[in-house]
Chain A
């Protein structure tokens, strides 16, 4: 008859509750009362609470601004409203300053950014992007007789920048150091200043300059070169794959039924050129 081996050393008593909890609980922690197969993370919370918090940037017309009644308006705001409707929840729009967009997402003050966030490597490290739904190019325009052809040619000249816009944010860091930067209230003011000789060049958006050349051919203004070009997309916190997939499905369906093109046409005129994406 063999004697039993040494008894295994008893587990510390304090570990037993945790052991029991780990044994009986499902391997993936779920909120109480949650149905099997329900959405997880931010999407689950949005669907359960009935509220989605979407951060917008309202100093970026025509993507984000106010209408005549002071109500938030613009292409990104319209997209946020559509997304909330498709989620079947109430929309809580959160107005954000340009530099507060990514921190607001990371600090869980918003669930999604519809705030003209460009898909660039620097941002990609901090957020999860949905499929791009638009593009924007920042361009420089001058009078037709101007010899300006590149950024370097702007050295020593007066450049009109539309205050509080993505275009100004983007261009300011690229202008030659001895450029005189004239911050003016809005895109139209910049074009006007350049056309009438109060500035040597205007920073603007590619779509606006294309539109001007068609609608106001008599205006002495001409696009010269593109400063930057980027796609923009809805952004979410990293590690929220259920929400990301829902948003991509939303973009797919609304792209297919023409709703996204309608929004683009209403605020930006024309059809965007966004390439295929493997989601």
Chain B
């Protein structure tokens, strides 16, 4: 860039001055209408907070699902008359399936011991002459195979093997949980969509009020030779400012909400003897929400002002 451009009227210098003028404009406007601005920002913050909390709920239910509930296993019940070599070959067959991560073999003796420990019927069991419990193989599927359809296929395949009495797929919890997180996800999406519309409308409306209050200024600016960009700029900044500050406030409120709920959950989980910690928003997620909200503010302001300018153009 030549030295002359750097001095008084270089493009970037002028541009920077115009931007700072627009920023001062926004600042003055907020100071003049402090209460209105605060109310607008609070409405935006609440509108953003609701989907944020929904998202957190979904995220935590997912987290809880991973932490608390056993992965869906297939339990293979063997015939009573199976001998050791047959068992070994059966295990070898099952391990060969590509869906299988690992297996756990419990002999008749093991199952009896486990049952004794669990049920507390130890004396009663001693009365039995013969061990009534079958040996079992617990098949743990690989992560990518943890889908109801694949597991059902696997179940069918194992069922046909020799000396297998029965195969149970213990996925009722898994299915319920999948349905539950799916439902929370759908609700979160719906609410998010509605709230995005709400945020746009709120910002658009506040910008419309601002336009109304400054229509004389806009007219004079147009007469004096201001470009459309110059006229738009303070409104765009104002919309973006509302969006960003609203999002920051929403993040603060969500954090407070998380802390409050976390305290309650800590209480409950200590009664149940487990530890579950709520997951908050990550840094990236927070930045995403702030950016999204800022862009929304910018866009809705742009639409509102453009519409107004087009309207006045047609009238004149």
Q: Do A and B associate with each other?
A: no
Interface of A toward B, CB cutoff 8 Å: none
